[in-house]
Amino acid sequence: MVIFTAVLWLVVFDLETWFIVNSESVNIPIFGFHNIIDLREYNDRAAKKSIYGLDYDVQNLAQFIDYLARHNYWVLTTEDLYTYFLNRSRPVPPQHLNQKPVMLTFDDGYKSVYTRILPLLKELENRYGKKLEVVLFINPKQTREDPKGDRYATCEQLREGLAQNLYDIQSHGYSHRRLTELNSQELEWELLAGQEQLRSCLNYGGDRAIASHLAYAYNDSNSTVEKRASQYYRSGYLYNHQMLKIGWQKDFYRIPRIRVDFNQTPEQLMQIASFASTLKSGRMFHPFQSRVNANIFLNFF
Ligand SMILES: [Zn+2]
C-alpha cells in the first residue's frame, strides 16, 4: 500500500515535488493557559484554594516567555497561523526564517490577562525590544456581567492590550456553553453574539481580525458545530493536548492545543516548545494551488 501510494505520487508529480511533499510537515505547539495566579500573594495561595488545576503561576509563565523571547521564537497570532500555515494565502515573511513558531493562548478572559500578563509582556518588550502578542479567547457575557472587572478583564482593559498590539482577541463563544448540547437557535446565538458583542466591546472598526477565530468551550465540538462555526469564523481551536502538525492538519476547525496545568514546570513547557519546527527557505507544495504558484512558498523541515 505504501509503495503503491508512493508510485502514485511519482506519477502525478515529479520526483522533486514528491520529495517536498514528504518533508513538508511542520510542528507548531499551541499552548492553552487559563487563569494566571501569583503564589506570592495571599489570595492566590493554598490557604484559599486546595487545587490549582488549570491555574498557572505568573513566575513560571515569566520564565517560559522570557525563554521564547531569548531563543527567537515566532509567537504566532491566530491570523498568522491562518494566513501562513493553514490557508497559505501568503508566503511566510523572510524575517521569520530560522525561527520556531509557537502560539500562546489564554482562555476565559480572567482579569489576570490585564493584571499579570500585560505587565509581563511590557517588561519583555522593554528588555528585548520585541512585542510578543498573545491570544485571548473571551466570552463577552462574562465581560458584560462584570463591568468593574472583579473577576474578568473589562472591555477597557482588553482595548488597552489590543492598542499596544500585545493582545490578539478572539471568541470563546458568547457564554461558555457546551456547543454540542445546544439546539440550532442557541448554537447560532453562542456563535454570532459571541462574535458581535466581543467586537462591540472592543470598538471594532473592521480594521483588525477581532473575534474571527473561535475556541470551543470545554473542548466540546462536533461536525455540526464546526460546520455552523465556519459561517462566522475562519478557524476553530480544540483543547485536546495534541501538537499541530501542518501537512497532516486538513481541517481548519479542529486545531489542536496543548493544555497547560499548574503542575507543569517552565522547563517542561520549554521542552514542548523546542519540538516546534525551524522554518527553512525553499519551495512548499500546496495541494490546492498549481505548481507554478508553489515556487513562491517556503518549505518547512
Ligand atoms: Zn474556557
Strand 101-107 and strand 74-75: pairing? parallel
Residue 214 has pLDDT above 50, yes or no: yes
**Ligand 1: distance of its center to the CA of 116 in Å?**
18
**Ligand 1: distance of its center to the CA of 180 in Å?**
15
**Ligand 1: distance of its center to the CA of 213 in Å?**
14
Q: Kind and range of the H or E element at 135? A: strand 134-138
Q: How many CA atoms lie within 13 A of 17 on its CB side?
A: 18
Q: What is the pLDDT of residues 110-122, one digit of tens each?
A: 999 999 999 999 9
Determine the Cα–Cα distance for residues 298 and 222; give it in Å rounded to an integer.
33
H helices present in the chain, as ranges: 2-12, 15-22, 58-70, 78-80, 112, 118-128, 140-145, 155-163, 184-201, 223-229, 266-274, 291-294
Strand 134-138 and strand 101-107: pairing? parallel
**Ligand 1: distance of its center to the CA of 214 in Å?**
11
**Ligand 1: distance of its center to the CA of 32 in Å?**
10
The pLDDT, as a whole number, for residue 206 is 81
What is the average pLDDT across 281-297? Answer: 39
The chain-wide mean pLDDT, for the chain, equals: 85
**Ligand 1: distance of its center to the CA of 112 in Å?**
14
**Structural domains of the chain in order of their starting residue, each with its CATH number:** 26-276 (3.20.20.370)
What is the signed CA dihedral for 239, 73, 27, 191, rounded to 10 degrees? 30
**Ligand 1: distance of its center to the CA of 141 in Å?**
13
Grid coordinates given for 103 = 502560539
Look at residues 104, 77, 71, 92 and name the one whose alpha carbon lies nearest to residue 24. Answer: 92
Q: What is the pLDDT of residues 12-47, one digit of tens each?
A: 433 333 333 334 689 999 999 999 999 887 777 654
Task: Specify the pTM.
Answer: 0.85
80-89, 124-133, 212-221, 281-290: segment of lowest average pLDDT: 281-290
**Ligand 1: distance of its center to the CA of 178 in Å?**
10
